[in-house]
Amino acid sequence: MKSADARATSDHVLIETAKGGDRRAFSALVRRYEDTVYRFALKVCQDPDKASETLQDTFINVFRKLHTFDGRSKFSTWLYTIVTNNCLMKQRRRKRDLLEESLEAFDEGPGGDRKEGHASIARWEHTPAHAVLEIELKQVLDEAIQALPPDYRVVFVLRDMEEKTTEETAKIVGISVEAAKSRLRRARAFLRSRLDPYMRAA
């Protein structure tokens, strides 16, 4: 397969051609999805070197297991499953990243985490959305998501940043839809709680 042909070819044709041993077809798949995998790995790992390692591990896994992909799910879903497993394995090895704090308290809402009273919910409406471009806010967002336990972070990234459906998120992570909703709810509340002091001061 020529490079120019590969760029215009569907995933299905590229996958079947790559399964037949065509290196150009596999390389085209890599080029098509490498940014998706790197971006996701960076959001979950929060470390460029770990994201780069995850990128390599993921495509090596894809190369070795492509013959097992039967096309019943979308290729991107299968790919996200592999990169999620690689990310979580790396995160679990990094003990310093594992937060011992339970997120169950966030089911209670403000005050449940004992840092914010129910009677003092600050209004964030006046904070400009484009403020995300500011370096200080980006740092606050990065630190907050880094403090989220990996099992929760991966659900939040898939559902709220990659904009997968809850069903697809559950399938990728290998948990029930109810468990995905529960982790998402706690992750959102945890992040909101971490951003609250900054947003109040803004």
Q: Which parts of this chain interact with other proteins (CB under 8 A)?
A: 23, 26-27, 30, 34-35, 38-39, 42, 48, 51-52, 55-56, 59-60, 63-64, 107-110, 112, 118-119, 121-125, 127, 129-130, 132-133, 137-138, 141, 145, 156, 160-161, 163, 166, 181-182, 184-185, 188-189, 191-192, 195-196, 199
In whole angstroms, the minimum distance from the beta carbon of 77 to other proteins comes to: 19
- Sorted by sequence, the CB contacts under 8 Å of residue 81 that are 6+ apart come out as 171, 172, 174
Q: Please choose, from the candidates 54, 47, 125, 123, the residue with its C-alpha nearest in 3D space to the C-alpha of residue 84.
A: 54
In whole angstroms, the minimum distance from the beta carbon of 171 to other proteins comes to: 16
In whole angstroms, the minimum distance from the beta carbon of 73 to other proteins comes to: 21
In whole angstroms, the minimum distance from the beta carbon of 190 to other proteins comes to: 10
In whole angstroms, the minimum distance from the beta carbon of 49 to other proteins comes to: 9
Crossing angle of helices 166-173/177-201, nearest 10°?
110
- Owner of token pair 């995905």: 180
- Owner of token pair 């999805």: 33
Task: Answer whether 162's CB lies under 8 Å from 111's CB.
Answer: no
Give the number of other Cβ atoms within 10 Å of residue 61's Cβ. Answer: 16
Question: What are the Cα distances from residue 26, in Å, to 31, 62, 98?
Answer: 9, 10, 36
